[in-house]
């Protein structure tokens, strides 16, 4: 397996002209605000590092030791900003976009296979695609930094259009310089801990500024492509304010606040749009006819203006605005920015608002030979109401099954039903819980003295019930159960929902919120299909599922990777998906998979387009939810253009994965080979991470995990407990730490040992050519290998105090990386990594000269910090370097 074509030197990088331009402006800013001396030092390090990486001067001295602490901080900020600007330039040029990743391209592919627009439209009638924003802490940049970056993107678009001046009359280049100067002088690090409310506001900024305007625009495009109006099959979701697994700061109060702020945000948008329509629709009854429905809306508006007496559309919109303002006042608890001119009753639900807007649209369609029909501002507003309702984004609840178990045990004990629920076996638990769910009696006693935990969980489900009353049932539809491994775990959630009136006994039973198991570890993924078979076999569950139309199951990428390594994780997820599809088909129920992906490959990262298309046959069928986390949110949805491209890619991939005919060539042979490889990879990974004495100490000393835990990047703690065990560490800091040290271990370790031990190399090459799952697996692996660097990692390993421990473990890691590298090239037939992906190759190699000095400075600062030096600039430098490395690597967390 170690034989492959001789390594060929990578071609020189042709730098993106936007990167050169923005880099020059950054240099001008550093010179102007930091002085010539600082600029000279930074430029020397930059050019020396570039020469080293190009092989021009491999032994060039970077001169890092000459930097004072103040200069170190300035240098790290400079390289971080360059990486941020380079990311922006590449995103604008579409480097991350993939061929075929549009709905129009998907239709073209499907037409060649015999599907027409009608077949796609029929599939979309039952489709649901939801990118779910989560607060998982891998975004190290402050929102202020991201805002300046987005303004630079807007200015670059004006420059592309050939404009010399902005709309405000400022020269575009001067405006760009000013924004970069603002970046240079903006503190990049948070000084205060993030709270849930902060995370909610950050998410709302993306939803308000990007999702709300972009999705109606995309739907207008898709309607033209399809030739018919599709339903709102793509909608945003969120965990922020509802995910309390391991986060004690998410409470009923923060849940109510998140829901109220989302409602305020979307209603304010509707008010603004209705006001703008009122200014636009000046049609007079002296020159245009209106339908009776619009005339009725105009009459009931009680608009007192004589000037609008012959303008029924404006009068109708006055009434709509007044009702919306009353709705805002009722649900948001405050007055809108622009008061209504007349009094009105609030809308009770979004459907009422949509009905009034549709009446205006239908009337306009009959005017002017259809010139007013279509997807103008009114059409986009109707689409927004369809998509966002009064809730903006569906908010999930999430909690750990251990918490539910304790809470239900206390409720049963206090109610006198069962004194020791925790001692019961699974069969007894299921029988008891089903009996309770079948009756109308509640367990909670308002006069009983419950634990804080039980009171908190009851408050949560009661707040969810309030949300349904206020904002509609789409506000909260799913209750995710972490660490789910049994039917009783799901029944316990329904017990809690019943206490708030969200589970309704009967024939059939009804559940206003769906209990969703999250299968996370390798063992959970293996047991998950059996759990779901038992679950769907329960008559009350089958009835509730049929009434809802589907049942969701969530698959965890992060913890399965930490548990079993990259290769075993992706294969277990693939196998679990296939097995679940069979279970659901046998039960006659529709399946919806929720993929808990992170940004890094070790947490399911990589191309969403490729990942969705690589899902097993029959597992998508138009329905999929995917988490979007941390720095990935800014990368994918930081600007309207990037958001449009990524949302279109997700839609296109889902359409293709649902309908595309795929070859079943040698499926069983491929599966058998993959099972063998996965088993070997699992043993290798577990042998290093969980069975090697001293590995936790090695990990904590080699990587900046301790320093990362102190970053103000999220409201959740880094570990679930205070123990030092790898099992208790959250997957996010586990992956993030290895990325900082340039090892990227969760994204590849064990793979080389497994592939090198597999005898049939030709079969592996055939799998790469003909099996999308295996090809995507290797493509993501290749990207990780390209971003890792064992020579830099060796410097980090010197932080390990025990020489024998360091030599033994790092030697295994280094050798494993080399085996993985060699095997990958042998299977893919390349002479070097990313040979067939020149754009990604250039993108990564462009950054390497900028990342190496950051890593080397970070190591020196870690040494000084761990030696006890108390200068606060050392700690600041470490945190800045973590920020800078993460920015340069992009999908590192």
Answer yes or no: are the C-beta atoms of 592 and 128 closer than 8 Å: yes
Torsion sign (Cα): 506, 508, 511, 517: positive
Which of 149, 25, 170, 52 lies closest to 91, judged by CA? 149
Query: Beta strands 478-482 and 397-400: pairing type?
Result: parallel
Residues 6+ apart with CB under 8 A from 474: 389, 391, 394
Whether residue 86 contacts residue 890, with contact meaning beta carbons closer than 8 Å, is answered with: no
**DSSP output for 49-99:** HHHHHHTSSTT----GGG--HHHHHHHHHHHHHHHHHHHHHHHHTTTT--T
Straight-line distance from the first to the last Cα atom of the chain, in angstroms, rounded to the nearest whole number: 31
**CB-based contacts of 91, cutoff 8 Å, min separation 6:** 153, 635, 638, 639, 641, 642
Q: 3-state secondary structure string, 816-865? A: HHHHHHHHHHHHHCCCCCCCCCHHHHHHHHHHHHHHHHHHHHHHHHHHHH
Q: How far apart are CA 493 and CA 408, in angstroms?
A: 9
Q: What is the largest CA-CA distance in the chain?
A: 92
Which residue of the set 483, 498, 562, 787 is catalytic?
Answer: 562
- For residue 278, the Cα-to-chain-centroid distance in whole angstroms is 37
Q: Which of 556, 580, 582 is nearest to 570 (CA)?
A: 556
Do residues 422 and 409 lie in contact, with contact meaning Cβ atoms separated by under 8 Å?
yes
CA–CA distance, 358 with 291 (Å, rounded to integer): 12
Asked if residues 709 and 718 have their Cβ atoms less than 8 Å apart, the reply is: yes
CB 137 within 8 A of CB 716: yes
Candidates 4, 136, 404, 865; catalytic one: 136
Cα 681 to Cα 573, 764, 810, distances in angstroms: 15, 15, 18
Count how many residues are written for the chain: 893
Q: Where are the alpha helices (DSSP H) in 227-311?
A: 252-280, 292-300
Judged on CB neighbours under 10 Å (0-12, 13-18, 19+), 467 is buried
Q: Measured at the alpha carbon of residue 528, what is the angle toward residues 523 and 529, in degrees to the nearest 5?
A: 130
69 burial level (CB within 10 Å; 0-12, 13-18, 19+)? middle
Buried-state track 210-222, b at ≥16 Cβ within 10 A, e below 16: bbbebbbebbbbb
* Cβ atoms of residues 503 and 420 within 8 Å: no
Q: Are 397 and 229 in contact (CB under 8 A)?
A: no
Decide: 411 and 451 in contact? Cβ < 8 Å: no
Q: What are φ and ψ of residue 72, in 5° steps?
A: -60, -45
Write out the DSSP string of 717-786: -SBSSS---GGGB-HHHHHHHHHHTT--GGGTTTHHHHHHT-S-HHHHHHHHHH-HHHHHHHHHHHHHHH
Distance CA 590, CA 467 (A): 26
Q: Give the list of residues 6+ apart from residue 297 with CB closer than 8 angstroms, or none.
A: 312, 315, 316, 319, 320, 356, 359, 360
d(CA 890, CA 703): 18
> Phi and psi of 480, rounded to 5°?
-80, 135
Specify whether 468 is catalytic: no
CA distance 808 to 72: 33
Told to judge if 595 belongs to the known catalytic residues of this protein, a careful annotator would answer: no
User: Cβ(858)–Cβ(878) under 8 Å?
Assistant: yes
Residue positions annotated with a catalytic role? 136, 562
């Amino acid at each position: 397996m170690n034989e492959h074509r001789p390594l060929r030197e990578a071609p020189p990088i042709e730098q993106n002209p936007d990167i050169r331009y923005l880099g020059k402006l950054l240099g001008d800013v550093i010179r102007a605000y930091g002085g010539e001396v600082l600029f000279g030092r930074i430029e020397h390090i930059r050019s020396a590092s570039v020469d080293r990486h190009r092989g021009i001067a491999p032994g060039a001295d970077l001169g890092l030791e000459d930097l004072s602490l103040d200069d170190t901080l300035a240098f790290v900020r400079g390289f971080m900003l360059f990486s941020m600007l380079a990311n922006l330039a590449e995103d604008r040029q579409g480097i991350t976009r993939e061929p075929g990743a549009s709905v129009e391209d998907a239709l073209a592919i499907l037409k060649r296979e015999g599907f027409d627009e009608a077949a796609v439209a029929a599939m979309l009638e039952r489709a649901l695609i939801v990118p779910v924003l989560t607060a998982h802490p891998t975004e190290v940049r402050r929102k202020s930094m991201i805002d300046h970056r987005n303004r630079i993107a807007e200015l670059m678009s004006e420059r592309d259009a050939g404009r010399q001046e902005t709309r405000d009359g400022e020269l575009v280049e001067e405006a760009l310089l000013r924004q970069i100067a603002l970046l240079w002088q903006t503190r990049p690090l948070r000084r205060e801990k993030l709270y849930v409310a902060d995370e909610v506001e950050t998410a709302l900024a993306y939803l308000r500024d990007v999702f709300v305007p972009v999705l109606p625009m995309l739907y207008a495009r898709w309607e033209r492509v399809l030739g018919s109006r599709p339903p709102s099959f793509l909608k945003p979701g969120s965990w922020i304010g509802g995910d309390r697994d391991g986060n004690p700061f998410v409470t009923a109060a923060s849940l109510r606040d998140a829901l109220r702020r989302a409602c305020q945000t979307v209603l304010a948008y509707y008010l603004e749009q209705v006001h703008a329509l009122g200014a636009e629709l000046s049609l007079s009854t002296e020159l245009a006819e209106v339908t009776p429905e619009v005339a009725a809306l105009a009459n009931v508006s009680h608009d007192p203006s004589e000037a609008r007496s012959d303008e029924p559309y404006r009068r109708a919109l006055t009434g709509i605005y007044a009702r919306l303002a009353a709705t805002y006042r009722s649900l948001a608890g405050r007055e809108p920015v622009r008061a209504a001119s007349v009094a009105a009753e609030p809308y009770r639900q979004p459907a009422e608002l949509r009905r009034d807007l549709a009446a205006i649209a239908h009337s306009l369609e009959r005017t002017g030979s259809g010139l007013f029909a279509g997807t103008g501002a009114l059409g986009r507003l109707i689409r927004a109401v369809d998509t966002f309702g009064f809730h903006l984004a569906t908010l999930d609840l999430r909690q750990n099954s251990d918490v539910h178990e304790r809470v239900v045990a206390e409720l049963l004990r206090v109610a006198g039903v069962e004194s020791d629920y925790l001692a019961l076996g699974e069969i007894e638990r299921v029988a008891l819980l089903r009996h309770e769910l079948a009756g109308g009696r509640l367990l909670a006693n308002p006069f009983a003295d419950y634990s804080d935990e039980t009171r908190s969980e009851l408050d949560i489900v009661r707040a969810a019930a309030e949300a349904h009353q206020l904002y509609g049932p789409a506000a909260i539809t799913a209750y995710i159960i972490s660490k789910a491994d049994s039917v009783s775990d799901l029944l316990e959630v329904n017990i809690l929902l019943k206490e708030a009136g969200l589970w309704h006994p009967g024939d059939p039973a009804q559940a206003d919120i769906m209990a969703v198991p999250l299968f996370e570890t390798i063992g959970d993924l293996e047991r998950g299909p059996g759990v779901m078979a038992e679950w769907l076999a329960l008559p009350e569950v089958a009835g509730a599922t049929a009434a809802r139309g589907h049942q969701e199951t969530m698959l965890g990428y992060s913890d399965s990777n930490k548990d079993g390594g990259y290769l075993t994780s992706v294969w277990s997820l693939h196998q679990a998906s296939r097995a679940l599809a069979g279970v659901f088909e046998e039960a006659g129920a529709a399946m919806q998979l929720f993929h808990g992906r992170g940004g890094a490959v070790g947490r399911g990262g990589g191309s969403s387009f490729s990942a969705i298309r690589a899902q097993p046959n029959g597992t998508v069928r138009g329905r999929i939810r995917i988490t979007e986390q941390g720095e990935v949110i800014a990368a994918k949805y930081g600007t309207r253009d990037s958001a449009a491209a990524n949302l279109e890619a997700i839609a296109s991939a889902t359409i293709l994965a649902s309908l595309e005919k795929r070859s079943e060539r040698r499926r069983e042979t491929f599966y058998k080979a993959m099972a063998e490889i996965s088993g070997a990879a699992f043993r290798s990974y577990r042998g290093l991470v969980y069975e090697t004495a001293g590995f936790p100490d090695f990990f904590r000393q080699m990587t900046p995990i301790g320093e990362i835990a102190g970053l103000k990047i999220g409201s959740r703690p880094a570990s679930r407990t205070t123990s030092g065990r790898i099992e208790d560490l959250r997957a996010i800091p586990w992956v993030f730490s290895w990325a900082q040290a340039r090892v990227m271990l969760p994204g590849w370790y064990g793979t080389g040992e497994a592939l090198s031990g597999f005898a049939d190399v030709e079969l592996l090459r055939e799998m790469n050519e003909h099996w999308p799952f295996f090809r995507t697996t290797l493509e993501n692996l290749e990207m990780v290998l390209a971003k890792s660097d064992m020579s830099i990692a060796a410097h980090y390993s010197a932080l390990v105090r025990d020489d024998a421990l360091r030599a033994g473990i790092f030697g295994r890691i280094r050798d494993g990386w080399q085996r993985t590298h060699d095997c990958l090239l042998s299977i893919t037939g390349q002479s070097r990594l990313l040979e067939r992906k020149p754009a990604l190759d250039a993108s990564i190699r462009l950054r390497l000269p900028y990342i190496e000095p950051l890593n080397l400075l970070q190591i020196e600062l870690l040494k000084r910090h761990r030696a006890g030096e108390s200068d606060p600039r050392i700690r600041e430098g470490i945190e800045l370097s973590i920020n800078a490395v993460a920015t340069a690597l992009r999908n590192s967390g």
